[in-house]
């Protein structure tokens, strides 16, 4: 069955409150649309534990920096709804920009310490836009559970810090990254890659897979691991490396000695497309 | 009956959700304690329209600037509870600082355009602290209605802007300022005034009462009205004027021609005590 399509925050709020009043558990999956199997795995995770699943689709202007790809960000609402029907999603909340940012809008969430490094450095204002829209969506769709993808690792940490710091009554569930068979993490931006670019983009999973192998061989000095990642990215000709770092899984501060829960964070450009990925070092099978 | 005293955000949240689930309407009155008849009028307003009334008492450190009076701010919890018992308040939520700001806390609400002028200029960071703690309290105590006093006029506007901008599902009710018989607006800080200072502090209500009379006599040029207010404050020897302005009731931008809904905002120091007050120009009986 096709999910119900709503665009009014008032209507979706009343709907969620009504079903909760009837004792049901509601899960929300915030997305920017252009859905792929990664998003669908989030909807499936919500479906598995919740009575009612709401997927939000909103290309959020405040999380794009001025030089970024807001206008060319893919919009595929009809196809998204079809895909979500296949996951038995109950409601798609797809508001327009004026519903979310009416004239005079000027109150933001200022994200916490975890937002300052990495993406925060390369995309000024990005996380302020993310936390602001996510907090707003949590108020409009006051679900008990919200599901996010691990591909945006720092985003998930920033949101969890916001939820803790601001006492938002929602449980955050983070689901594993879904990858194509070649190892590339699914992303709505992958459709911009030419076949030649896509082949160079595989340097990114190759880099963290290499680090996992090195760690399994006893190499824990992260300056070595990071320089080997850079070497792989350069050898396989990504066009620019933003960062390739070994960090603490929660604070996202750089660590000097890798441990099994250390996280590798990567961001690189291939052509005009910027890609990010991450992995936990100790997750590889030796 | 004495209100129930709670200090755990989890317990108060569960309590509110449970009574709402049972169909009851909850009202919350956020305060910093040191209660006076002004606060009690807010509790009474909540009592009049809600089934369950929660008063929060928390001296919020993040809304005090470094040079301000956090440590000497009056704390009178036992007496506050007695007074609230008299208003048939159901719950007093009085968390300690570690409950509200645990280690690592770093996510804030960045208040909107209405916060930038007046108090925002004289108390940097003040409204960021206010909006952050109020949003947190609204999550911990998810009441349908929240009651604030009009004495902090700009604060009420900043909170209403936050509620609109961030889609917080709570109705804001603003109650009239309560005054002593001499006209001084009630404030927890009035207890710092010596009798001589208090007599000089009466320049503040005298100033806006004068403007109301002038307006009733047809004077609408706010540069005249503002300069007459300053003259009164100086003649009656307040120690420093921060501002005395005629502003738009919602944007708080200065207006050049006064209208019946124009608001007069005042802030002045008497001794070491800083006092604020406000009034709508058209509210006086001619």
Mean local confidence (pLDDT), B240-267: 98
**Per-residue pLDDT at A286:** 57
Residue B183 belongs to a domain:
no
pLDDT digits (tens, 9 = 90+) for B263-281: 999 999 999 999 999 999 9
Q: From the candidates A36, A39, A126, A210, which is the catalytic residue?
A: A39
**B25 at A interface, C-beta within 8 A:** no
- Considering only CB atoms, B165 lies closest to which of A13, A106, A167, namely A106
Q: Are residues B39 and B155 in the same domain?
A: yes
Residue B286 banded pLDDT, cuts 50, 70, 90:
low
**Per-residue pLDDT at B270:** 98
Query: Chain B partners of A102 at a C-beta cutoff of 8 Å?
Result: 164
Q: Are residues B137 and B203 in the same domain?
A: no
Whether the Cβ atoms of residue A42 and residue A148 lie closer than 8 Å to each other: yes
**A26 at B interface, C-beta within 8 A:** no
- The tens-digit pLDDT sequence of chain A (286 residues) is 899 999 999 999 999 999 999 999 999 999 999 999 999 999 999 999 999 999 999 999 999 988 888 998 999 999 999 999 999 999 999 999 999 999 999 999 999 999 999 999 999 999 999 999 999 999 999 999 999 999 999 999 999 999 999 999 999 999 999 999 999 999 999 999 999 999 999 999 999 999 999 999 999 999 999 999 999 999 999 999 999 999 999 999 999 999 999 999 999 999 999 999 999 999 876 5
Mean local confidence (pLDDT), B67-82: 92
CB contact under 8 A, A112 and B106: yes
Q: Which residues of B117-152 are buried (b: 16+ CB within 10 A; e: fewer)?
A: bbbbeebeebbbbbbbbbbbbbbbbbbbbbbbbbbb
Angstrom distance (rounded) from CA A68 to CA A82: 28
Q: Are residues B16 and B127 in the same domain?
A: yes
Helix (H, G, I), strand (E, B) or coil at A57: strand
pLDDT digits (tens, 9 = 90+) for A166-206: 999 999 999 999 999 999 999 999 999 999 999 999 999 99
Write the ipTM: 0.96
> How many percent of chain B have pLDDT more than 90?
96
Catalytic, A36? Answer no
Residue A196 belongs to a domain:
yes
Which of A175, A203, A228 finishes a domain?
A175
β partners of residue A246? A264
Residue A182 belongs to a domain:
no
Give the gap in angstroms from C-alpha B157 to the nearest C-alpha of chain A. 12
Q: Are residues A245 and A106 in the same domain?
A: no
CATH of the domain at A83: 3.40.50.620
**Per-residue pLDDT at B267:** 98
Which of B175, B198, B224 finishes a domain?
B175
CATH of the domain at A220: 3.30.1300.10
Residue B136 banded pLDDT, cuts 50, 70, 90:
very high
Q: Are residues B141 and B195 in the same domain?
A: no
Number of domains in chain A: 2
Q: Are residues A96 and A11 in the same domain?
A: yes
How many C-beta atoms lie closer than 10 Å to residue A235's C-beta? 11
- Considering only CB atoms, B9 lies closest to which of A107, A111, A167, namely A167
In A218-237, the residues whose Cβ lies within 8 Å of chain B are none
pLDDT digits (tens, 9 = 90+) for B158-173: 999 999 999 999 999 9
Q: From the candidates B36, B39, B210, B269, which is the catalytic residue?
A: B39
E strands along chain A, which residues? 4-6, 26-31, 52-57, 91-93, 108-110, 145-149, 171-175, 240-247, 263-270, 273-280
Does this model's pTM top 0.80? Answer: yes
CA distances from A36 to A95, A267, B110 (A): 20, 20, 34
Whether the Cβ atoms of residue B124 and residue B67 lie closer than 8 Å to each other: no
Q: Which residues contact B114 (CB under 8 A, 6 or more apart)?
A: B154, B157, B158, B161, B250, B251, B252
**A113 at B interface, C-beta within 8 A:** yes
CA B166 to chain CA centroid, Å, is 20
pLDDT digits (tens, 9 = 90+) for A251-279: 999 999 999 999 999 999 999 999 999 99
Q: Are residues A241 and A168 in the same domain?
A: no
**B181 at A interface, C-beta within 8 A:** no
Q: Are residues B12 and B130 in the same domain?
A: yes
**Per-residue pLDDT at B285:** 65
Whether the Cβ atoms of residue B29 and residue B65 lie closer than 8 Å to each other: no
CB contact under 8 A, A165 and B106: yes
Q: Judging by DSSP bridges, how do beta strands A108-110 and B108-110 pair with one another?
A: antiparallel
**Per-residue pLDDT at B66:** 83
**Per-residue pLDDT at B284:** 76
Query: Number of H helices and number of E strands within chain A?
Result: 10, 10
| Residue at token pair 């050049």 | B256
Q: Are residues B20 and B159 in the same domain?
A: yes
Whether the Cβ atoms of residue A279 and residue A176 lie closer than 8 Å to each other: no
Q: Are residues A43 and A168 in the same domain?
A: yes
Which residue range forms the structural domain that includes residue A240? 188-280
Helix (H, G, I), strand (E, B) or coil at B279: strand
Q: Which residues contact A217 (CB under 8 A, 6 or more apart)?
A: none
**B125 at A interface, C-beta within 8 A:** no
Q: What is the DSSP string of A159-215?
A: HHHHHHHTT-S-EEEEEPPPB-TTSPBP-GGGGG--HHHHHHHTHHHHHHHHHHHHH
């Amino acid at each position: 069955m096709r999910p119900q399509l709503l665009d009014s925050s008032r209507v979706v709020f009343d709907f969620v409150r009504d079903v909760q009043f009837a004792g049901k558990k509601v899960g929300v999956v915030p997305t920017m649309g252009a859905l792929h199997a990664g998003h669908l795995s989030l909807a499936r995770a919500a479906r598995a534990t919740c009575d009612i699943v709401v997927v939000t689709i909103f290309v959020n202007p405040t999380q794009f920096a001025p030089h970024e790809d807001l206008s060319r960000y893919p919009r595929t609402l009809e196809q998204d709804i079809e895909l979500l029907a296949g996951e038995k999603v109950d409601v798609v909340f797809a508001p327009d920009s004026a519903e979310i940012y009416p004239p005079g809008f000027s109150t933001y969430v200022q994200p916490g310490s975890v937002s300052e490094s990495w993406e925060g450095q390369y995309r000024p204002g990005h996380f302020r836009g993310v936390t602001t829209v996510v907090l707003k969506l949590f108020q409009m769709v006051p679900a008990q559970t919200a599901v996010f993808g691990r591909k945006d690792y720092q985003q998930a940490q920033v949101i969890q810090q916001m939820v803790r710091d601001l006492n938002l009554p929602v449980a955050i569930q983070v689901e594993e990254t879904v990858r194509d068979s070649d190892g590339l993490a699914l992303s709505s931006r992958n459709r911009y890659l030419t076949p030649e670019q896509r082949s160079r983009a595989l340097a990114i999973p190759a880099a963290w897979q290499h680090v996992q192998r090195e760690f399994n061989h006893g190499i824990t000095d992260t300056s070595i691991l990071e320089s080997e990642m850079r070497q792989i990215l350069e050898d396989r000709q990504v066009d620019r490396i933003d960062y390739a770092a070994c960090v603490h899984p929660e604070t996202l501060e750089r660590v000097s000695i890798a441990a099994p829960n250390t996280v590798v964070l990567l961001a690189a450009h291939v052509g005009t497309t910027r890609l990010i990925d991450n992995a936990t070092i100790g997750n590889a099978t030796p």
